[in-house]
Amino acid sequence: FFLSLKLENKTKGKLQKQICQVVLDHFEKQYTAELGDAWSNVREVLTSPWCWQHAVLLNRFSRCPGLESSLAEQGYHPAFPAALPCLPAAFRCYVRTAPGRFPAQKHQPGKLKEYYLLNAASLLPVLALEVKDGEDVLDLCAAPGGKSVAILQCACPGRFHCNEYDDLRSRWLEQTIESFIPDALLNLVMVSKLDGRQFGDLQPEFYDKVLVDAPCSNDRSWLFSADPQQAVLRLMQRKELSSLQFQLLRSAIKALHPGGSLVYSTCTLSKAENSDVINLILSSCRNVMPVDISEMARGVSQEFTFLSGTQQHELLVLPEKGRAWGPMYVAKLKKVSST
């Protein structure tokens, strides 16, 4: 016990030194104002990677007979209640309250992985999208591919377009899809490297469902920026992100056919990149309306902590000890007409 405690304290000290003070000071000021008393609990989790948790999303295309029983023996339980209205029958994800990480699987060409490790909150945008078999689906900012993999655990789309503008991240996305999707289904999946802001003009009113998991100021990773100069640059560029996010959303709306729906998500707590962007879209695009996702939020409230006071079409997952999921912002919209 004492040895493990000593190792834990050593790890804590090492990780604590890696926190970027410039970013933490910025967050301290912004999130105290935006989150109030909730920020202190969130800050404790975000600055303490030894208490972060990882979910295990099973791959329905590569089932391992003993995997679920092995997870149960290690204290894992289903992340989402079976009664959740938007939960597909084939969707299997496991979590536990204890921190730590299930062993990762390496990419092996020609062999499918059995599971994907991820932040459980990142599955909420996918569940909110409610993809059905045969629908044409676009994942506009798809890398590294976790949400794309999750979408294919939910349903078999008619066509599934995974787009990633960044060249390096696009190669990462391709490898992820190769690792999880059998050859027989790969002909349904198209990977592209288009500028997401132009997508709506290139393929107008084509898709039933669009996921916009937008580039954002990733609070978890930014806190551990190794280079202070890079951190300062990131914080300066942060002001420009909401404009990019708005343009991506507007493009996604153009790409939807009337009656189609989209989900917008980020992994930041920042109001400017979350509800402010959605409010601007709702006020400037008359052909979209908000979609209530409060029932889904209530259904998963045993596993996730949400910021109170949000609108019915949005949610914000706040990390806390024992439920260290998030940050994750999710909002859902529906396109009601062409103009």
**Residues making up the binding site for S-adenosyl-L-methionine:** 141-147, 164, 195, 213
Rg (CA), the chain: 20
The answer to whether residues 325 and 53 touch, using CB atoms and an 8 Å cutoff, is: yes
Please give the annotated binding residues, written as ranges.
141-147, 164, 195, 213
Distance of CA 121 to the CA centre of its chain: 6
20 is a catalytic site residue: no
Element holding 29 (H helix, E strand)? helix 21-35
Q: Compute the distance between CA of residue 141 and CA of residue 264 in angstroms, rounded to an integer.
A: 11
The answer to whether residues 55 and 48 touch, using CB atoms and an 8 Å cutoff, is: no
Element holding 193 (H helix, E strand)? none
Q: Bridge-partner residues for 254, per DSSP?
A: none
> Mapping DSSP to helix (H, G, I), strand (E, B) and coil, where does residue 32 land?
helix
DSSP assignment, residue 287? Answer: T
Catalytic residue among 51, 162, 267, 285: 267
Nearest to 35 by CA among 331, 324, 308: 308
Question: Token pair of 199, please?
Answer: 């997508």
Q: Compute the distance between CA of residue 16 and CA of residue 236 in angstroms, rounded to an integer.
A: 24
Tally helices (H) and strands (E) across the chain.
Answer: 13, 12
Active site residues: 267
